[in-house]
Amino acid sequence: MTNKLKYFIGNWKMFGNTADLKKIYQINRFCSSFKKFKKSNKVIMCVPSTLIYLFSSKVKSKIISIGAQNCHFNEVEGPFTGSVNSSMLKKVGAKYIILGHSENRLEGDTNKIIIRKIEIALKNNLKVIFCIGETMQEKLKRKTFLILKKQLRILNKKKFNPNNIIIAYEPVWSIGSGKIPKSYYVKNVLKFIKKECKKIFKKKYLPALLYGGSVNAKNVRNFSSINELNGFLIGSASQSPKKFIDIIRNCYK
Ligand code: PGA
C-alpha cells in the first residue's frame, strides 16, 4: 500500500471500560514488533472521556496516543451539565480530538459550533481530527462536493496550522453500515478535498487525509491504490484489538 499511509485512528464511540486498557497494550505490542510499521506511523485511540486519564497515564508509547471524541464549545469551565471542554480533556492526557463527526452533527453540532470547537481545541494544543462527509441522499442528488465544500469552508475563517488538523472523509451512509464506496469514488473525493485545502491553507503542507466508514481487515485493501490517502478512521473494528491489528497488517501486505 502507499507509503503515505501514516494514521490508524480508532473511534471507540460510547464503548469501553478500564479493563480495556489491555487492548491498547496488545495493539502497542503488535505495532512495536511489526517491521513494516514505520516509526513515523501513528495509532491514535479516541476513547470515551472516562478512560482518557487512565489510558494516557499508563500508555507510554511513541506509537499510540490517546484522543477524545468530542467536547463542549465553551473555552472555560461553566454550568454545562454532562459536558467537558477541550482544556479539561487536554489536562487528563488527550492529545487528539475528533470533531464534526456525523453522529455529533446529528445531535445538533452545526458548522458554526464545530468551528468554535476546533478553534478552542487547537488553542488547547489538541490536534483535531475533523470529520466531513455526505449523506446518501446528498450523494444521490450529486451534491457530495457541494456539501464537502461547505463543511471545509469553516476552516477558511481562521488561520489554522494544517499540521494540527487531520481531515477524515466519512460518508455518513458508510458509517456502521458495512457499505463502503468504490475506491475511484474515494480517490475523486480526496482529490477534491486536497484541492479545496490548497485554496484554504495556501501552503505547501496540507492536512493529512483519512477515510472512515465500515473499514475492516477485508475491505482495507480496496483503498490500496489511493495515493491521496494518509490513513483510516476506524469505528467498530477498533474495539477489537484483533480486528484493528488485522487492518494494519493487511494494509502492508
Ligand atoms: P465504523 O465507524 O468504522 O463503525 O463505520 C467509523 C466512524 O464512525 O468513525
Q: Are 89 and 49 in contact (CB under 8 A)?
A: yes
pLDDT given at position 157? 74
Lowest mean pLDDT among 6-15, 152-161, 174-183, 206-215: 152-161
- Nearest Cα to 186, choosing from 155, 141, 151, 231? 231
| Band of pLDDT at residue 39, cut at 50, 70 and 90 | confident
Residue of 99, 233, 240, 243 to test ligand 1 pocket, by largest number of atoms within 8 Å of CB: 233
What average pLDDT is seen over the chain?
Answer: 95
Whether residue 40 has pLDDT greater than 90: no
Residue 203 DSSP label: S
pLDDT given at position 151? 96
Q: Whose CA is nearest to atom 7 of ligand 1?
A: 235
Residue of 170, 172, 238 to test ligand 1 pocket, by largest number of atoms within 8 Å of CB: 170
172 lines ligand 1 (CB under 6 A): no
pLDDT tens-digit series, residues 7-19: 999 999 999 999 9
* Backbone CA torsion sign across 33, 6, 104, 52: positive
80 to each of 57, 72, 73, how far by Cα in Å?
27, 8, 10
| Band of pLDDT at residue 252, cut at 50, 70 and 90 | confident
Measured from the Cβ of residue 59, the count of other Cβ atoms closer than 10 Å reads 18
Contacts (Cβ under 8 Å, ≥6 apart) of 207? 130, 162, 165, 166, 167, 197, 201
Average pLDDT over residues 47-75: 96
pLDDT given at position 1? 47
Average pLDDT over residues 195-217: 93
104 lines ligand 1 (CB under 6 A): no
Q: Which residues are catalytic?
A: 101, 170
Residue 239 DSSP label: G
Q: Are 244 and 17 in contact (CB under 8 A)?
A: no
Residue 224 DSSP label: T
Ligand 1 center to 236 CA (angstroms):
6
Q: What angle, rounded to 10 degrees, do the helices at 21-33 and 241-251 form?
A: 20
pLDDT tens-digit series, residues 85-113: 999 999 999 999 999 999 999 999 999 99
24 lines ligand 1 (CB under 6 A): no
Ligand 1 center to 17 CA (angstroms):
19
pLDDT tens-digit series, residues 140-168: 999 999 999 999 999 987 778 999 999 99
- Nearest Cα to 208, choosing from 232, 184, 186? 232
Whether residue 34 has pLDDT greater than 60: yes
Lowest mean pLDDT among 53-57, 202-206, 227-231: 202-206
Nearest atom within ligand 1 for CA of residue 234: 3
